[in-house]
């Protein structure tokens, strides 16, 4: 039922893909193949894929899923960047990363390999987040909006809704924000009661925690914002004027929080998120709700990591429509393992990092640091065909321990929950 968009599929695919990693393997594989073939699957492909999944280890399936999600993230970033480029938007975040890359590799920078910010005209007018969302929808086929949730309980608040249409296996949304790993848990605001006043914390399976509260809904932007002022902010967010708030931590006082343009900074480190593109139309996963009783999730949570490939000469090339078209060619299952090398000019492009809406916690951060380091990502992947107006829902899988589950929480699969938390 959840894969009806792919045509004739056996019912046993649901049971065959019960485990999360196997489901992700099946859905992302089907998505990649369907994109490659323009909407049609060969006869017997799904049955063969199910049998193949049985022969692959957990690590092999996880590796494939990571590759597919990384490639989809590259495609999403390319759609955002190309939309801004063709609208003559100044792209302050992307431009700052390009300039940082040039400083790291001056020997590769020449008049023939200038940044995209200088290779195209810019009117200085910033697109609003809504305008960018509409342009990205035209390229990807879908985007997102935040509206009052249709889930019927008082704490549901705002919900996440699809605009357009998305196939199962699509990377629908990203959980943006600062990522804290175990060694730096104590640096989280309010530690150890990190959840007090913060409903936007998402756990990774490696125990990393994504704090999306500072990101909020992102940066609405618009014509009333000075592009020059924003360019200065993303180039050096920590050097802006200080305000008088400090957040107490168990391991000592915090640095003063700098003023920010759009980030709701809870710490000085959270203010570093302003280096990224705040208008990202898919960085809204933290608004997705848990399904009500009797409803099935239409998305699952997925963890992956992303790092720009080793610096290559091609990465200094200015972005263009042809570059983006090449980047957005779908990769087949056989070619996915070589996607990094086959699209080096796009997947290594420094502007790409501006559209990955996460920073792993570090006290001192810069564009150069982010270009060199791996970033922890969490996203929502569709497991059902979604149409415009569909509310995105995923299983929160809340533990019954600690303070217990809220009254509105209904397990999606009680047997699965019993096994998970036994």
Looking at the predicted structure, is the pLDDT value of residue 243 above 90?
A: no
Task: Give the integer Cα–Cα distance in Å for 243 and 259.
Answer: 6
Residue 125: inside a domain: yes
Residue 377: inside a domain: yes
Looking at the predicted structure, is the pLDDT value of residue 313 above 70?
A: no
Looking at the predicted structure, is the pLDDT value of residue 151 above 60?
A: yes
CATH assignment of the domain containing 91: 2.170.270.10
3-state DSSP percent of the chain in helix, strand and coil, to 5: 40, 15, 45
Residue that the structure tokens 């608040």 belong to: 157
pLDDT at 310: 57
User: What 3-state DSSP class applies to 132?
Assistant: helix
Looking at the predicted structure, is the pLDDT value of residue 241 above 70?
A: no
pLDDT at 230: 52
User: What 3-state DSSP class applies to 209?
Assistant: strand
8 A C-beta contact, residue 146 and residue 158: yes
Q: What is the mean pLDDT of residues 276-290?
A: 98
E-strand stretches of 346-411: 358-360, 375-382, 386-387
Considering only residues 401 and 271, tell me which one the structure prediction assigns the higher pLDDT: 271
pLDDT at 168: 94
Task: Give the integer Cα–Cα distance in Å for 191 and 180.
Answer: 12
pLDDT at 68: 95
* Both structure tokens of 404: 């217990």
Looking at the predicted structure, is the pLDDT value of residue 106 above 90?
A: no
Task: Give the integer Cα–Cα distance in Å for 188 and 181.
Answer: 10
Looking at the predicted structure, is the pLDDT value of residue 234 above 90?
A: no
Number of domains in the chain: 1
Burial annotation 264-285 (CB, 10 A radius, 16+ → b, else e): ebbbbbbbbbbbbbbbbbbbbb
Looking at the predicted structure, is the pLDDT value of residue 338 above 70?
A: no
pLDDT at 251: 53
Task: Give the integer Cα–Cα distance in Å for 66 and 376.
Answer: 12
Residues 6+ apart with CB under 8 A from 335: 342
pLDDT at 405: 81
Q: What is the mean pLDDT of the chain?
A: 80
How many Cβ atoms are within 10 Å of 236's Cβ, its own excluded? Answer: 14
Q: What is the largest CA-CA distance in the chain?
A: 65
The pTM (predicted TM-score) of the whole model is: 0.82
Looking at the predicted structure, is the pLDDT value of residue 336 above 80?
A: no
CA distances from 42 to 9, 47, 49, 58 (A): 11, 10, 11, 26
Residue 415: inside a domain: yes
Strands 177-180, 358-360: pairing is: parallel
User: What 3-state DSSP class applies to 26?
Assistant: helix
User: What 3-state DSSP class applies to 5?
Assistant: helix
Q: What are phi and psi of 15, to 5 degrees?
A: -70, -30
- pLDDT tens profile 8-26: 334 433 333 347 888 899 9
Residue 201: inside a domain: yes
Query: Quick one: pLDDT band at residue 118, thresholds 50, 70, 90?
Result: very low
pLDDT at 331: 37
Among the ranges given (67-76, 178-187, 191-200), the one the predictor scored with the smallest mean pLDDT:
191-200
- pLDDT tens profile 198-232: 999 999 989 999 999 999 999 998 645 555 555 55
Task: Give the integer Cα–Cα distance in Å for 360 and 224.
Answer: 31
pLDDT at 356: 98
Q: What is the mean pLDDT of residues 361-371?
A: 93
How many Cβ atoms are within 10 Å of 242's Cβ, its own excluded? Answer: 14
Nearest to 303 by CA among 78, 70, 76: 70
Q: What is the mean pLDDT of residues 67-95?
A: 96
Looking at the predicted structure, is the pLDDT value of residue 316 above 60?
A: no
Q: What is the mean pLDDT of residues 93-113?
A: 81
Residue 107: inside a domain: yes
Q: Which of 45-49, 124-128, 177-181, 416-420 has the highest mean pLDDT?
A: 177-181
Its domain, for residue 188, covers 66-420
User: What 3-state DSSP class applies to 198?
Assistant: coil
Residue 23: inside a domain: no
Task: Give the integer Cα–Cα distance in Å for 128 and 307.
Answer: 28
Residue 259: inside a domain: yes
Handedness of CA 115, 120, 125, 129 (dihedral sign): negative
Strand order in the sheet with 171-174: 171-174, 375-382, 299-306
Looking at the predicted structure, is the pLDDT value of residue 32 above 70?
A: yes
Residue 35: inside a domain: no
* Both structure tokens of 135: 């342009």
CA distances from 394 to 292, 296, 297 (A): 10, 8, 5
Q: What are phi and psi of 87, to 5 degrees?
A: -90, 5
Strands 171-174, 375-382: pairing is: antiparallel
pLDDT at 154: 85
């Amino acid at each position: 039922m959840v894969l009806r968009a792919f045509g004739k599929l056996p019912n046993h695919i649901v049971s065959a893909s019960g485990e999360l990693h196997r489901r992700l393997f099946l859905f992302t594989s089907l998505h990649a193949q369907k994109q490659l073939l323009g909407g049609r699957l060969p006869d017997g492909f799904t049955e063969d894929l199910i049998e193949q999944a049985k022969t692959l280890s957990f690590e092999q399936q996880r590796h494939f899923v990571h590759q597919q999600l990384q490639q989809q993230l590259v495609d999403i970033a390319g759609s955002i960047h190309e939309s801004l480029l063709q609208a003559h938007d100044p792209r302050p975040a992307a431009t700052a990363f390009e300039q940082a890359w040039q400083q790291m590799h001056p020997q590769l920078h020449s008049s023939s390999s200038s940044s995209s910010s200088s290779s195209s005209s810019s009117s200085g007018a910033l697109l609003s987040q809504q305008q960018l969302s509409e342009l990205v929808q035209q390229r990807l086929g879908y985007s997102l909006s935040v509206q009052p949730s249709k889930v019927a309980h008082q704490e549901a608040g705002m919900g996440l809704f699809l605009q357009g249409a998305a196939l199962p296996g699509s990377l629908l949304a990203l959980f943006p924000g600062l990522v804290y790993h175990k060694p730096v848990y104590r640096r989280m605001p309010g530690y150890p009661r990190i959840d007090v006043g913060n409903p936007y914390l998402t756990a990774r399976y490696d125990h990393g925690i994504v704090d999306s509260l500072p990101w909020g809904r992102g940066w609405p932007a618009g014509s009333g914002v000075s592009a020059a002022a924003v360019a200065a902010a993303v180039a050096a967010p920590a050097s802006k004027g200080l305000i008088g708030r400090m957040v107490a931590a168990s391991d000592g006082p915090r640095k003063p929080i700098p003023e920010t343009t759009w980030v709701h900074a809870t710490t000085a480190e959270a203010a570093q998120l302003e280096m990224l593109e705040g208008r990202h139309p898919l960085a809204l996963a933290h608004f997705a709700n848990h399904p009500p009783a009797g409803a099935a999730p239409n998305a699952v949570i997925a963890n992956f990591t992303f790092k720009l490939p080793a610096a290559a000469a091609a990465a200094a090339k200015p972005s263009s429509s042809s570059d983006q078209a090449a980047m957005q060619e779908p990769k087949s299952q056989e070619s996915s393992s070589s996607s990094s090398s086959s699209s080096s000019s796009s997947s290594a492009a420094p502007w790409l990092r501006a559209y990955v809406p996460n920073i792993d916690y570090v006290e001192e951060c810069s564009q150069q640091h982010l270009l060199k380091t791996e970033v922890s990502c969490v996203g929502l992947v569709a497991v059902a065909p979604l149409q415009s107006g569909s509310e995105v829902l995923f299983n929160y899988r809340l533990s019954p321990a600690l303070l217990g589950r809220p009254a509105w929480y209904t397990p999606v699969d009680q047997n699965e929950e019993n096994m998970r938390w036994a």
